[in-house]
Amino acid sequence: MALVATVAALLAALGGTVWLAARRFVGPSVRHGGGDSGLMHGKTVLITGANSGLGRATAAELLRLGARVIMGCRDRARAEEAAGQLRRELRQAGGPGPGSDAGEAGELVVRELDLASLRSVRAFCQEMLQEEPRLDVLINNAGIFQCPYMKTEDGFEMQFGVNHLGHFLLTNLLLGLLKSSAPSRIVVVSSKLYKYGDINFEDLNSEQSYNKSFCYSRSKLANILFTRELARRLEGTNVTVNVLHPGIVRTNLGRHIHIPLLVKPLFNLVSWAFFKTPVEGAQTSVYLASSPEVEGVSGKYFGDCKEEALLPKAMDESVARKLWDISEVMVGILK
pTM here? Answer: 0.85
Residue 223 lies in a domain: yes
What are the helix and strand counts (H, E) for the chain? 11, 8
Gap between the Cα atoms of 254 and 70, Å rounded = 25
pLDDT-above-70 percentage for the chain: 77
What is d(CA 21, CA 17) in angstroms, rounded to the nearest whole number? 6
Express each pLDDT in 133-182 by its tens digit.
999 999 999 999 999 999 999 999 999 999 999 999 999 999 999 999 99
Residue 204 lies in a domain: yes
* Cα–Cα separations (whole angstroms), residue 123 to 49, 85, 129, 130, 209: 17, 27, 10, 11, 33
For residue 256, the enclosing domain spans: 42-331
Q: Is the pLDDT of residue 11 over 50?
A: no
* Residue 59 domain-assigned (yes or no): yes
Structure confidence at residue 193 (pLDDT)? 96
**Per-residue pLDDT, 260:** 53
Grade residue 265 by pLDDT with cuts at 50, 70 and 90.
low
Q: What are phi and psi of 237, to 5 degrees?
A: -95, -10
Task: Supply the mean pLDDT for the chain.
Answer: 85
Q: Could you give the strand order of the β-sheet that contains 137-140, starting from the edge strand earlier in sequence?
A: 108-112, 68-73, 44-48, 137-140, 184-189, 239-245, 301-303, 306-307
pLDDT tier for residue 249 given thresholds of 50, 70 and 90: low
Residue 101 in domain: yes
Which band of pLDDT confidence, cut at 50, 70 and 90, is reported for residue 92?
A: confident
Residue 23: pLDDT band with limits 50, 70, 90:
very low
Contact 45, 67 (CB under 8 A): yes
Q: Which residues pair with 183 in a beta bridge?
A: none
Active site residue 196: no
Asked if residue 245 is part of any domain, the answer here is yes
Q: Is the pLDDT of residue 227 over 70?
A: yes
Widest distance between CA atoms in the chain? 71
Check whether 210 has a pLDDT greater than 50: yes
Distance of alpha carbon 284 from alpha carbon 187, whole angstroms: 10
The single residue of 194, 216, 287, 301 carrying the catalytic annotation is 216
Torsion 236-63-69-58 (CA) sign: positive
Q: Residue 288: pLDDT band by 50, 70, 90 thresholds?
A: very high
- 25 versus 283: which is more confidently predicted? 283
pLDDT higher at 92 or 244: 244
| Confidence category of residue 189, pLDDT binned at 50, 70, 90 | very high
How many domains, in total, are found in the chain? 1
CA distance 309 to 255: 30
* Residue 84 placed within a domain: yes
Mean pLDDT on 233-261: 76
**Domain presence at residue 15:** no
CATH number at residue 59: 3.40.50.720
Beta bridge partner(s), residue 301 = 243
Residue whose C-alpha is closest to residue 55's, from 115, 97, 102, 95: 115
Please give the residue that has the higher pLDDT: either 72 or 258: 72
* Residue 270 counted as domain residue: yes
Would you state the pLDDT for residue 264? 45
